[in-house]
Amino acid sequence: MSIPKRTRVHLMGSEGNGWALDSDLMTTRASLEGLKDVVDLTSWKEAEVIHSVWEWPLLQRSNMELKGKRVICHVCNNVAHIFGQPFMVHANDRISCWIAMSREAESMLRELRLPHRYVPYAVDTNTFTFALPGEVSSATLRARWSLPADKMI
């Protein structure tokens, strides 16, 4: 039995300001670290795959820097707005596969006939849990706000 080859991935694309893209990078990193049997997170130079959570820094790289690498990039809801930006003129030459993080983005990418896969937003399950703060129960909140049982609190 042969051992499957591990894929060397460089993860990038945050802004470094503690906002949404940084969170996206953090949850994507955690997801990829969960695949440690098949994925090695590595430097740009050593990577076979460049995985970016944001198209802007990726598109600042030259075609030469991307040569021979598979390039994947997240895209959120407003695909029409993003693809309307002047810097996106070379996106299709550089990005091998888009990661649609919403069904809306998936639909737009499909309509544009761009290579993509649907991978919903990652969630930090240490922060977002079903547990409610304090001693309050979901039944109490449902009664207070007149929420039906099939709605998430």
Helix (H, G, I), strand (E, B) or coil at 7: strand
Question: Residue 52 burial by CB count (10 A; 0-12/13-18/19+): exposed, middle or buried?
Answer: buried
Is the separation of the CB atoms in 120 and 104 below 8 Å? no
Q: Per residue of the chain (153 residues), what is the pLDDT tens digit?
A: 555 689 999 999 888 887 888 888 988 998 888 888 999 999 999 999 999 999 999 889 998 999 999 999 999 878 989 999 998 988 988 999 999 999 999 999 999 999 999 998 777 777 777 777 777 888 888 888 888 888 777
Closest C-alpha to 114, from 102, 101, 96: 96
Q: Which residue has the tokens 């969960």?
A: 34
> Residue 114 corresponds to which amino acid?
L
User: Does this model's pTM top 0.85?
Assistant: no
